[in-house]
């Protein structure tokens, strides 16, 4: 089963009438409302709000200019407003969201177009010719009230453009990198409703059923887009809209089939045919752009086609390419075929969903090359990469969660060395190194509690400064690293020092990745153990110091609650003591 998470949109959605606006305002506890609406609907909404109306603002503008928001904010302050009611298209909705971002005022949105933005936590604002987009739960409206009658007088061209804008929300949700089965369902139904309704609205603008279907489609499209990250389509539209002052819905409508074709989405030609049949602009040139304007812009070839309005040319069928590669493994052994097929489909899907560029791919190849070049017998950068991406921990859980009665396992880490020296019990692993002394008294037992004698136990840890012996060229021979055998009672005793938190090696590609991502490189303090005996499953694990640093943010995601142990202080003793019983299972478990 594919794992995924989905958070239901908390907006209250009402399909009713503008006459319900007063009741919905009361439900929100609003007594002093700022009404954002043009004169077309503003007078009627003002009458229905009655004494709840504290102020009106009629100058909402496309792309939500910050200076317009600042003017509206003055009204909010002057009239002690406790909520915003917006009636209109995307401009009114955008202004309400911008006000909520700055004031946390509740919003009641009454859309009169098919934008769908009223269902999202996304806000785009423009200042100095640049549009920036952000997500915040503060801008998601509390209530959305749909009244199909308000859309009946919406001009056909505006209806079609805003409907394709909503369609773009649904399409983008389908290829978003964090799409999931629930958003797929919402998007598919939104696409079905909108592609059916828009031609009907063009043919008969008074078709109430078609306009109601378009509203439902816009609602679903906005809902699914709110649950995923925005991709190339919105990035381009917001960039061009803010830079050149292009109309929002029309820009989305023009670019949609071109972005779909660029990403290899199978329905690109169908969407192109749909938009070509609607009374909307069909090229960026109709919106005022020229090829000179897009010179140097990202995705210039895509935009060039959109400027000219020519049929979009898709790259070679990406699905066919993936299928061809998968079929090349037909003769491989079953498990090899399964692993390679899933790997190829996952990698191809990742490249398509993220619109991976040649430059990004070459950087990734270079990153992996550097990772291999820095690896050696004493440093395994690939393991470090696997650890910091959480892959090692995923494989660990998949491999070892089948034995729930045993001690939890943990990642091997990059500093294990095969064949450590066999050492008698009671030895001091620190060999005079500075640090807080630690007396270790552990036992190895089976899942029934019976001692496991003569088990081989490899132990390794870092020094007080966070370095393993293999990282220290001046260290002669293994230090803080040994191989023991349990005694007849399954016991093992040795001395060492209390481990401390330490950074993983940060001078290589993995360290650069963490720095770029804003992540710290630290591991929680721990001691490594590997326990093996014929007839038993080998246990690779770590014991973490209770109360130690980074337990909740270990950079390799290796901490498990069952491995956090008290390194206790004993009255009259200098240092600490570690006591623990490891439980291992038979190899057939």
| Catalytic sites, residue numbers | 468, 502, 523, 526, 528
User: Which tokens belong to 424?
Assistant: 């008698």
Answer for the pair 161, 249: CB distance below 8 angstroms, yes or no.
yes
User: Which tokens belong to 39?
Assistant: 């004169």
Q: Which residues pair with 37 in a beta bridge?
A: 87
CA 293, 298, 300, 303 torsion-angle sign: negative
State the Cα–Cα distance between residues 206 and 240, nearest whole angstrom. 33
Residue among 164, 298, 268, 152 at smallest CA distance from 211: 152
- Which stretches of 390-455 are assigned E, i.e. beta strand? 437-446
Residue among 192, 161, 197 at smallest CA distance from 174: 192
User: Which tokens belong to 350?
Assistant: 């990742």
State the Cα–Cα distance between residues 76 and 477, nearest whole angstrom. 73
Residue among 335, 217, 205, 313 at smallest CA distance from 269: 313
Answer for the pair 518, 441: CB distance below 8 angstroms, yes or no.
no
State the Cα–Cα distance between residues 263 and 419, nearest whole angstrom. 51
C-alpha neighbours within 13 Å on the C-beta side of residue 58: 8
Residue among 542, 527, 532 at smallest CA distance from 456: 532
């Amino acid at each position: 089963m594919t794992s995924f998470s989905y958070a239901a949109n908390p907006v209250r959605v009402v399909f009713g009438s503008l006459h319900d606006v007063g009741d919905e305002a009361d439900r929100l506890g609003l007594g002093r409302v700022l009404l954002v609406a043009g004169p077309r609907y503003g007078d009627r909404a003002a009458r229905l709000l009655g004494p709840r109306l504290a102020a009106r603002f009629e100058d909402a503008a496309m792309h939500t200019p910050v200076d317009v928001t600042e003017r509206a904010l003055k009204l909010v302050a002057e009239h002690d407003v406790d909520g915003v009611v917006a009636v209109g298209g995307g401009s009114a909705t955008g202004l309400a969201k911008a006000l909520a971002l700055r004031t946390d005022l509740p919003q009641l949105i009454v859309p009169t177009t098919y934008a769908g933005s009223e269902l999202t936590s996304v806000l785009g604002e423009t200042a100095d010719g640049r549009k920036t987009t952000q997500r915040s739960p503060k801008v998601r409206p509390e209530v959305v009230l749909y009244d199909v009658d308000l859309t009946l007088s919406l001009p056909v061209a505006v209806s079609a453009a805003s409907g394709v804008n909503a369609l773009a929300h649904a399409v983008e949700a389908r290829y978003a990198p964090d799409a999931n089965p629930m958003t797929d369902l919402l998007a598919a139904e939104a696409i079905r409703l909108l592609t059916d309704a828009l031609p009907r609205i063009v043919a008969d603008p008074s078709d109430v059923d078609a306009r109601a279907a378009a509203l439902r489609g816009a609602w679903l499209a906005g809902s699914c887009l709110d649950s995923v990250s925005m991709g190339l389509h919105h990035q381009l539209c917001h960039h061009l809209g803010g830079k050149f002052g292009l109309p929002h819905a029309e820009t989305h409508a023009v670019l949609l089939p071109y972005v779909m074709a660029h990403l290899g989405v199978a329905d690109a030609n169908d969407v192109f045919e749909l938009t070509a049949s609607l009374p909307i602009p069909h090229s960026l040139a109709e919106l005022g752009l020229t090829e000179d304007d897009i010179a140097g812009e990202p995705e210039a070839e895509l935009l060039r086609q959109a400027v000219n309005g020519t049929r979009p040319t898709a790259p070679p069928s990406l699905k066919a390419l993936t299928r061809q590669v998968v079929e090349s493994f037909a003769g491989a052994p079953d498990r090899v075929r399964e692993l390679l097929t899933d790997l190829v489909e996952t990698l191809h899907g990742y490249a398509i969903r993220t619109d991976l560029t040649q430059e990004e791919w070459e950087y990734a190849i270079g990153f992996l090359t550097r990772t291999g070049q820095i690896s050696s017998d004493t440093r395994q950068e690939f393991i470090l990469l696997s650890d910091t991406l959480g892959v090692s921990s995923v494989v660990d859980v998949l491999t070892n969660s089948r034995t729930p009665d045993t001690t939890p396992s943990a990642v091997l880490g990059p500093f294990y060395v095969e064949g450590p020296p066999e050492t008698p019990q009671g030895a001091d692993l620190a060999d005079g190194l500075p640090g807080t002394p630690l007396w270790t008294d552990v036992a190895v037992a089976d899942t029934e509690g019976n001692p496991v004698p003569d088990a081989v136990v490899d132990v390794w840890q870092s020094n007080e400064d966070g370095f393993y012996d293999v990282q220290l060229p001046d260290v002669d021979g293994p230090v803080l690293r040994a191989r023991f055998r349990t005694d007849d009672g399954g016991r093992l005793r040795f001395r060492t020092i209390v481990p401390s938190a330490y950074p993983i090696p940060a001078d290589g590609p993995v360290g650069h990745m963490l720095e770029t991502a804003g992540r710290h490189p630290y591991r929680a303090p721990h001691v490594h153990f590997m326990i093996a005996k014929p007839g038993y499953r080998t246990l690779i694990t770590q014991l973490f110091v209770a109360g130690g640093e980074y337990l909740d943010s270990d950079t390799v995601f290796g901490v498990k609650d069952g491995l956090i142990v008290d390194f206790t202080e004993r009255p009259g003793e200098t240092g600490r003591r570690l006591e623990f019983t490891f439980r291992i299972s038979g190899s057939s478990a």
